[in-house]
Amino acid sequence: MAKKPVTFMLNGSERAAFAEEGLNLLEFLRRAVGDLSPKYGCGQGTCGACTVIIDGETHLSCLTMAEAVQGRKVETASGLANGKVHPLQEAFMEHFAAQCGYCTPGMLMSAKVLLDHNPSPSRAEVIEAISGNLCRCTGYEPIIDAILATANTRRLA
């Protein structure tokens, strides 16, 4: 099977690995690169557990070809804490916004892109932003609270 080299930025560091033809970004990141933070939930773009950020926008890594990130910037939940935990991570911990934790990496990616674009989102905008991320444990309310609290803290800071 033909393998293609893929060079890209992952959480600020240059990475290169081989991708088999047809390999999706989720499996590429997990198996070839070794970043296990994006999760497989459905493999068909409905659950959002595999959400990553490519050039500042959210993408479902299970529906993205690995070679599509050639030369681009990819961010995942494992790179969110840079020396210390990110304010979103702190808020998720404080607000009990994770139970089993499986949707959390994808949820954090959607939340980060929202706050990067819109520092003062309304509750409805938060709900819209995470509408592609399913969570079976929390009932969403603690997650929405955590994201809104992060925005509030940043405004006050």
Partner 1 sequence: MIEFRKEFFANERDDNLNEIGKPTRRQDILGHVTGRSPYFDDHLFEGLLHIRCVRSPHHHARIRRIDISAAEKMPGVVRVLLGKDVPLNLNTLLSLLDFGLDDEPVLSETKVAYKGEPVAAIIAESEAQARAAVKMVKVEWEVLPHVLDVEDALKPGAPVVCDVYPTNRFIYHGKFDHQKLRYGDVEEAFNRADHIVEGRYQMSPIEQAPMETCGAIAAPEVNDRFVCFTSTQGLFFSLGTAAKLLTMPSSRLHFVGGTVGGGFGGKVDSMHEPLAILGAMLTGRPCKYAWDREEEMQVGAPRGAERWYIKDGITRDGRIIARKFTGYFDSGAYTRLSSYAIIKGVGHLPGPYTIPNVYADVFCVYTNRTPATAMRGFGITGVDFAIEAHMDKVAETVGMNPIDLRILNSYRDGDMKAHRRLAKNCALVECCQVVAEKGGVALSAESRSATSLTGGGGERARLPARTATDQAGAVSGFKGGNYARKGGGASGPQPVAMPVAAPAPAYANSPQRPAAPAYQPAATAPPAASPPTPPADTARHGALRFSSLSGFRRR
Residue of 150, 59, 37, 42 lying closest to 97 (CA atoms): 150
Q: Which of 7, 16, 18, 34 binds partner 1 (CB under 8 A)?
A: 34
> How distant, in Å, are the alpha carbons of 96, 111, 129 from that of 81?
18, 14, 21
Beta bridge partners of 24: 65
Closer to partner 1 at the Cβ: 71 or 84?
A: 84
> Could you please report the per-residue DSSP string of 18-41?
EEETT-BHHHIIIIII----S--S
Closer to partner 1 at the Cβ: 2 or 71?
A: 2
What mask of x and - would describe binding to partner 1 in positions 83 to 112, judged by CB under 8 A?
A: --x---x--xxx-x-xxxxxxxx--x----
The continuous run of DSSP H or E covering 128 comes out as: helix 123-129
Report whether 120 contacts 155 (CB < 8 A).
yes
The amino acid at residue 73 is: K
Tokens representing 70 are: 């050639």
Closer to partner 1 at the Cβ: 135 or 149?
A: 135
Closer to partner 1 at the Cβ: 40 or 140?
A: 40
Q: Which of 15, 31, 73, 127 binds partner 1 (CB under 8 A)?
A: 31
Q: Which of residues 118-157 bind partner 1 (CB under 8 A)?
A: 134-137
Closest contact distance (angstroms) between CB of 91 and partner 1 is 9
Point out which span in 28-36, 112-120, 123-131, 147-155 binds partner 1 (CB under 8 A).
28-36
Cα–Cα distance between 36 and 23 in angstroms, integer? Answer: 16
Interaction site with partner 1 (CB under 8 A):
22, 31, 34, 36-44, 47, 49, 76-78, 80-81, 85, 89, 92-94, 96, 98-105, 108, 134-137
